[in-house]
Structure 1
Amino acid sequence: MTLGWIISLVTIFLITYGYDQTAIDEAYPDSKTEFMAYYGLFRNCWAIALGFIVFASAKGYGGPIGSFLACSAFEPLAKMTYGAYLVHGITMYYFFVNISYRIAISHALVAFIAISNVWISMALGLLVIIVFEAPVAQMEKLVFGHLGLSKLPTVIKYKTE
């Protein structure tokens, strides 16, 4: 497990700080091998490294990272971001379809549009949670309570070393 943590953290560090396209272009102006290898693999390596961290934390080998990820303060935020994920496509579609004039694109405008879409999507995500998810969760508690299934199975906690 320790070897997995080391490989995972080194992979994340190298993906974040290890590649410098400018230095490679200056040292090897004709070589694109490093460029293709990095851009071909970094997303998969990042996903595997983060997946290991989540898996290790879920199995009880997360240490301080696992306790941070298991903090109960993240539960409402997780629900809200999932709701935002569900509605952000509709939000962006509505915004971009209703533009009836030409826009001069600038960095400030793109930043404003992105930040606006995030805020609107988060607000709509919160609305989705309040209107749909919370009532359904309460109905599940009532229905499963009447069926005698009110207690969920216990989660097995593994020892952390």
Structure 2
Amino acid sequence: RGRADYFSYYYIRPYCRMGPYIVGIIVGSFLYKTDCKVKINKYLNLLLWLVFATLAVVVLYGLRDPISFPEDALSRDVSALYNATHKIVWGACVCWVIFACATGNGGFMNTLLSWSPFVPLARLSYCIYLSHAMVIFTYYDSQRSLIYLDDLNIIYVFLATLVLSVMVAFVASLSFEAPMMGLEKVIFKRDRRN
């Protein structure tokens, strides 16, 4: 199959995304069983932060040749290995951040991620995730000519997509999520009184 089929035959298939869900379930179960009370030696903690940060950078940027951008840079075997492992490794990296912050081993990263200006974005994050694909597809489907892919165009499209996704998510959250949260509060208040 070609690159055009990647999205529909691989990217959105739930069985191709099972690995990160399993990693998340395992870490969540461990946090639940330990009541988020896990102490890690500070040197081991630092080593784990370095390992998971390195793995995250490798997953994000490890495939790109900084000098050129060849179309067929990866062999079939390397592509298969990357496709089989990159989502699981990324899920493990995210789970490490959650685990470290929840157990008090997050240090500066926990302080940064707990910063109060992130609260509105955190509340919108799921709506942003749901709306960003619609924004991207609307943009690309409306193009009447091919787009030249250079760094500046990619940055421009990324920033525009980010801003539009946040705007769409804000409207969707006010229209659907907020009323449901209000209804949920009313229902659970009645249950508590009974």
TM-score band, normalised by shorter chain: 0.5 to 0.7
Structure 1 residue aligned with 2:177: 133
Q: CA deviation at 1:45?
A: 4.4
Pick the aligned partner of 1:84 from 128, 134, 148: 128
Q: Equivalent residue of 1:71, what SS?
A: coil
TM-score (norm 2): 0.54
2:39 corresponds to 1:6: no
Q: 1:63 to 1:13 in 2, by over 3 A?
A: closer
Query: Which has more radius of gyration?
Result: 1
Q: Equivalent residue of 1:77, what SS?
A: helix
Structure 2 residue aligned with 1:124: 168
2:95 corresponds to 1:55: no
Asked whether the equivalents of residues 127 and 173 of structure 2 are also in contact (C-alpha less than 8 Å), the reply is: yes
Q: For the residues of structure 2 that align with 1:104 and 1:70, how far apart are their CA atoms?
A: 39
How many residues in Structure 1 have an aligned counterpart in Structure 2?
A: 135
TM-score (norm 1): 0.63
Pick the aligned partner of 1:98 from 115, 139, 142: 142
Please, what is the CA RMSD of the aligned residues?
A: 3.4
Structure 2 residue aligned with 1:75: 119
Q: Equivalent residue of 1:62, what SS?
A: coil
Structure 2 residue aligned with 1:153: none
Asked whether the equivalents of residues 52 and 96 of structure 2 are also in contact (C-alpha less than 8 Å), the reply is: no
Asked whether the equivalents of residues 12 and 49 of structure 1 are also in contact (C-alpha less than 8 Å), the reply is: yes
Identity of aligned residues (%): 19
Query: For structure 1, which runs of at least 5 residues remain unmatched after alignment?
Result: 23-31, 150-161
Q: CA deviation at 1:13?
A: 5.0
Structure 2 residue aligned with 1:26: none
- One-letter code aligned to 1:85: Y
Q: Equivalent residue of 1:148, what SS?
A: helix
Q: CA deviation at 1:4?
A: 4.6
